[in-house]
Structure 1
Amino acid sequence: MTITLKYFGLLADITQLKEEQFSFDEDTISVFELKSKIESSYQNMQNAAYNIAINQTISDLKTTIKDNDVIAFLPPFAGG
């Protein structure tokens, strides 16, 4: 399984990337499993607040990620 990860704002600063590809042996993984892997790779993300969207839909930690999904790591937004 291969997925695309996109980082925005402070999270792009932490990872020094705007986008990367990740490959896994599994056919599916949960958002929780992906979050754990990312935070072990980029330890400063453990202290950052962010949401995770799959294919432009905000997800929870139980959501399943499938092959070719696009995952966005979104910092909090201020608006008005």
Structure 2
Amino acid sequence: MDITALLAQAANLMLTGMVGVFVFLSILIIAVKGLSKFAAPDEPVQPRSQAAKSKPAGAEQVPAENLAAISAAISQYRNQHFPSEK
């Protein structure tokens, strides 16, 4: 076989493979979109702005003692690892 025939066969094989992958992925995308419509939740999803504003019941602010302990730990860490920054 000469090089031209080999290159033509390689191009044909590459094109066949690329078309096969494209068709397979297209079918997969269509199937996933169809299944997502089939399995959609019954209740509407809240927009992020409303979901962020609503807090669960019992959610309170962090106690002052915890904030003081966290601040002290951060300060101690910075003093140990970054002593030149003050």
- Higher gyration radius (CA): 2
Name the TM-score, length of structure 1 as normaliser: 0.17
Structure of higher RCO (CA pairs closer than 8 Å, 6+ residues apart): 1
Higher strand share: 1
